Amino acid sequence: MGCECSSPSERGGEGRAARDAQSRAALTGRLQERERVGQLQGVTAARTVWYAPRVFDPQMELLLTVLVAVADGTHSDGQPAASWADAQAAMAVCGEIEEDLELAVSAQDVDELRSILEQWFCGKRYLLEHDRDVLKRAMKAYRKSLKVTVLADESTLGGGPMSSGRKSTIVGIRPPDRYPSSVWKELVRQGRLLDAMQGLYELPPE
């Protein structure tokens, strides 16, 4: 009768093969799980970006910008560029809000909101005090930055301590980037700055 037992070396080889197979299976499982989790995280991140409430900075941004995005701005699929919830959240940190504007946003009345925006744009109505304050701070920051830039330029043109120096020819600068572009565009619309193109802005002639 033949012996059905295996030698220690054969048993060791079979054990290693089994362990190797188990290790490969475990590694494959981990890789597949990691890939699945990565895909899930990617989808979740995309949804988070898409659906996350807009973060509004009352020190630097205009409420006007958010309201315009609610009333007129749309994504390519028709979804609003800003939601009514975004507008309410921004209004909550902007101080005193006019009653008809509050009612329009609370009722999600886009026609009334557009009417209020039109009154602002055509000068029949003052901008909110919050927005006027933001524009005032932005203009102050712009003037300070322009002054520093001009003085730095003139210091390189002086020609020595006894020279009377030369005037800088700089008339436009890139505005402080802590304010969004919508602030500078509104200042241009109001005629308080000139758009010199390529991101540069100038003061209008006096």
Q: Does the predicted model carry a pTM greater than 0.95? A: no
Is residue 131 over pLDDT 80? yes
Task: Tell me the backbone φ, ψ of residue 200, rounded to 5 degrees.
Answer: -100, 145
pLDDT at 20: 64
Please report how the helices 99-106 and 63-71 are oriented relative to each other, as an axis angle in degrees rounded to 10: 40
**Which residues partner with 172 through β-bridges?**
202
If 0-12 CB within 10 Å is exposed, 13-18 middle and 19+ buried, where does residue 196 land? middle
Q: What is the pLDDT of residues 42-74, one digit of tens each?
A: 433 333 333 345 689 999 999 999 999 999 865
Q: Is the pLDDT of residue 93 over 50?
A: yes
Q: Where are the domains of the chain?
A: 9-50, 63-121, 129-202
